[in-house]
Amino acid sequence: MFPRRRISWLAAVGFFLLLPASSASAQGPQARGKIVGRIVDAETGKPLPGAQVAVKGAGLGSLAGVDGRYVIAGVPVGTHDLTITLLGYGEKTITGVDVSGADARLVDATLVPEAVAITAITVDAKKEQGSVARALDAQRNATGVISAITSEQIQKSPDRDAAQAVQRVSGVTVQDGRYVFVRGLGERYTTTSLNGARVPSPEPERKVVPLDLFPAGLLQTITTSKTFTPDLSADFSGAHVDIETREFPSRRVLTLQASGGFNGAATGRTVLAAPMSGAEFFGMAGAGRGIPTDVKDPAALERPLTQAQTAQIIRSFRNVWSPGRQDGAPNSSFGFSLGGQDPVFGRSVGYLVSGTYSLTQEARSGEVRSLAVPDGTGGTRPFNEFTGSTGRRSVLWGGLLNLSASVSERVRLTLNNMLDRTADNEAHQDYGILDFFGSPVQRTTLDFVERTVYSSQLRGQAMLGERHFLDASLTRSGVSRDEPDRSDFAYIREIGLTGDTLPLTWLANDDDAAKRSFSTLDEGSWNGALNYRWQLGAVASPVELKTGVAYRATHRDADTRSYAIVAQGLTPQERMAAPEALFDGRYFDGSAQFSVHPVTAGGAYTADEKIAAGFAMVDYPLTPRVHVVAGARVENWKLDLTSAPILRDPGVVGRDNTDVLPSLSLNVKLTEEQNLRLSATQTVSRPEYRELSPITFRDVIGERSMIGNPALRRGLVRNLDARWELYPSRGEVLSVALFAKQFVDPIERVEIATSGASNESFVNADGAHNYGVELEARKSLGFLGASLDPLLLFANATLMKSRITPGNDSISALTNASRPMVGQAPYVVNAGATYATENGLSATLLYNVVGRRITSAGTSPLPDTYEMPRNVLDATLQLPLGGTLTAKLSGKNLLDSPYRQVQGDVARLRYRAGRVVTLGFNWQP
């Protein structure tokens, strides 16, 4: 299905197969091992290529490569001392390094610039590892304002994927379990990259990447950059989220994982279930779900058809319309990881192959859906109010293959490959009053959606001279989204002439009462980047110049088609039949007249986007404690978008903008433990392809329609940030951040006034501003006594306020002339506690709440629609069982607070998702 992807995967697999079976030397009198690690600058956390690492008294040593890594092989078994030297840095000796013949010994180290170090430093190996963890703290050493979640933190949480993990970051919220909002800004202001290369979105109606695509077991670090620097893509203002896949370990390690659990709302209960087809346990739709050949061309349905021809077309659809009911299945997951370093052709090659699979059962009980209309007294009342339930079975699997090798001491190559897939098989059924008919209606929807993301990246790092560095990468990435054969069906309960209630019968004359929909999206992109870094001046405090170019070419094809089946002449008794009986052919030869026609909502669009960029920036030390980082990025954006709505003429949208985006930062090291960061930047916000395409997409009968706006313009965002940070000791932090943003031509999702059903579209507002404060604290309670040293408390809170001045009155008569931005929450709070002992026992409690935020701006006289706050509590317990076996007990959504969207007094959407408990095991044989 993805031929270009297979080339990189096959090449990587072939390379991996060259690895020898074992690298351990035999035990005995001459047994030897090896020492591996990484050397970094204690002040900046940057790697130090060329550092000399020597084993005292053994005549063995190595030079750190371009990424600061080194390998010393053939070290005699025993306890040794290491000396590390580099021109411009203080010499360091690390004592007590234990080497065995079976495992590689990991020894990372930091070097202090000579301007700070007066004499040589000697530390023991255990103490040095603590110093490394502190020096490598990305948040402390970053150029801008960032926050990071590591694999260690993810392991201590019940998080299943990147979306769940990243919501622990200060100011981050996650909508619908997958879409990230940062600092309360809408999803359009967040971008996502994988190992530094941009990831496209598989969603036809959203710009953001759903982070539930990335299994937690494959992640090394999730870094959230909240301020723009010229070496980053400029189309964000909320945050840039970089997902880094796991690195290879220093020695060969095999890890096996398995878990099982239950959802209190689904497991063991009778829930709705959509019939399966094909290998859906692996997230792959069956061939029977494909769009029939007879209806692929809309023109084929425009000519007059005989009843025999119509019957043939109806039979070509998969005759599945009704959900089943079954006991909810337990949740389960499996995973493995194999990695290490081995010599190949005299060079050390690092490798990691990893895979994970999970199956979860979800249910929404007491689900309420409705629209809102004015009640005539200044309030709102429900319109088309329905109550029902949803059952969903979700599959998530992923795999990665990462390889890294030093071609020489000055050149390192890395090949990263990743393939992830998620699939949701969902059944929904509800019952309520359809006000247009004034009668009760039962609606049923069966829907299967699969999403895939892949990435193959080749990266090279080179040291051209003692102080010249080159970093180049080429990435092929892409996404696909397939929603094959969605079915919507509706029965109506009519009122008889005498006022009695009749049985449910098919609403045979409505286009939305028997509908099949087929939707596909495929997007692929090439990303290339070349960065050059030059250090000059004093080694201890150099001026660093960085420049580079980048290019991204993206192609997307999206197609959505819906077909309505209607009939005349069926008796009420015949319309009472199950839909599978209505369309299996038994009524085609009678007096009834069936017809099939394309629904006007839907269509196809093709987008070609090209972004060329260049940047230059300088990190200039005014003093050893004050650094100015200044520069600019120039981006040229070209877009050609062709839309082909159903039964309408195609339309073309073009955009060509060049923007100069400056960045200025001041980083002040107030003391050894305190930093102050100030920055002023300008970024850009571009419309998503779907938002520009004038194609209408409509949900099941009685719900909203969505239409794009070809007149949308790209917007600009001016950003101001300030953050004070205190790092009192290892693993502890206290920070206060202030931020303010000014938006020019921001894009907003709004309701639009129509004579029929409620519709939504997108508009450029006249302007907006956003400001707020972020607080973060992590503190060990060891200062109260040694018994409390394992207990760590942490919390972060973001308080925000925004105001937007809408425009586009010709499209939408908005309720408020001045209101918060769509998606802007007034506050976000995360808090928790971790108790961790040296023997591997740990317990973690996590809490999250997000203030109410607008999901869609209302049309006068209706108010805006808000998503209401939910209190979320999660907990985990990790317990060592002996040897290398560990157990993990997790609980998610323990409070089971309801999800609610309200418009005035009307509940637009309300449901509970249930509590989830999981027990898992991790084993390293």
DSSP letters along 856-882, please?
EB-BTTS--EEEPP--EEEEEEEEEEE
Q: What is the residue-wise DSSP string for 514-561? A: EEEEEEEEEEEEEEEEEEEEEEES-SSS-EEEEEEEEEEEEEEEEEEE
CA–CA distance from 804 to each of 683, 744, 760, 824, 861 (Å)? Answer: 18, 10, 18, 11, 19
**Stretch (H or E) spanning 338:** strand 331-344
Is 64 exposed, middle or buried, given 0-12, 13-18 or 19+ CB atoms closer than 10 A? buried
The pLDDT score that the predictor gives to residue 577 is 94
Tell me if 374 sits within 8 A of 904, measured CB to CB.
no
Question: Mean pLDDT across the stretch 877-888?
Answer: 87
pLDDT per residue as tens digits for the range 282-320: 888 877 888 888 887 767 777 788 888 899 999 999 999
Question: Mean pLDDT across the stretch 571-590?
Answer: 91
The pLDDT score that the predictor gives to residue 698 is 60
Tell me if 612 sits within 8 A of 635, measured CB to CB.
yes
Question: Mean pLDDT across the stretch 233-260?
Answer: 81
Residue 716 has pLDDT above 90, yes or no: yes
- Specify the range with the lowest mean pLDDT, choosing from 32-46, 270-284, 441-455, 521-535: 32-46
Strands 32-41 and 109-111: parallel
Is 700 exposed, middle or buried, given 0-12, 13-18 or 19+ CB atoms closer than 10 A? buried
Helix (H, G, I), strand (E, B), or coil: what is residue 800?
strand
CA–CA distance from 475 to each of 101, 196, 313, 530, 552 (Å)? Answer: 39, 10, 43, 12, 9
Instruction: List residues bridging with 551 in a β-sheet.
Output: 528, 612
Question: Mean pLDDT across the stretch 137-161?
Answer: 65
Pair of tokens at residue 464: 């051209």
The pLDDT score that the predictor gives to residue 16 is 39
Tell me if 832 sits within 8 A of 846, measured CB to CB.
yes
Residue 179's pLDDT band (cuts 50, 70, 90) = low
At 664, the amino acid letter reads L
77: DSSP letter: S
The pLDDT score that the predictor gives to residue 427 is 96
Distance CA 537, CA 799 (A): 42
Q: How high does pLDDT run on average in the chain?
A: 82
Pair of tokens at residue 778: 């992590």
Distance CA 54, CA 35 (A): 10
CA–CA distance from 367 to each of 176, 362, 363, 388, 901 (Å)? Answer: 15, 13, 10, 5, 12
- Specify the range with the lowest mean pLDDT, choosing from 49-63, 86-100, 249-263, 696-710: 696-710
The pLDDT score that the predictor gives to residue 513 is 92
Residue 207's pLDDT band (cuts 50, 70, 90) = low
Q: Higher pLDDT residue, 782 or 860?
A: 782
Residue 437's pLDDT band (cuts 50, 70, 90) = confident
Task: List CB contacts of 802: < 8 A, sequence separation 6 or more.
Answer: 184, 768, 769, 770, 771, 820, 821, 824
Query: How many helices and strands, by DSSP H and E, does the chain display?
Result: 9, 50
The pLDDT score that the predictor gives to residue 350 is 84
Tell me if 561 sits within 8 A of 291, measured CB to CB.
yes
Q: Higher pLDDT residue, 373 or 18?
A: 373
pLDDT per residue as tens digits for the range 92-101: 898 888 887 6
Q: What is the pTM of this model?
A: 0.81
Sequence length of the chain is 925
pLDDT per residue as tens digits for the range 664-682: 999 999 998 899 999 999 9
Residue 34 has pLDDT above 90, yes or no: no
pLDDT per residue as tens digits for the range 791-844: 989 898 989 888 887 765 555 555 566 778 877 788 989 898 988 887 878 888
Considering only CA atoms, which of 504, 512, 602 is closest in space to residue 565?
Answer: 512
Residue 2 has pLDDT above 70, yes or no: no
Instruction: List residues bridging with 503 in a β-sheet.
Output: none
Question: Mean pLDDT across the stretch 514-541?
Answer: 90
Question: Mean pLDDT across the stretch 231-257?
Answer: 80
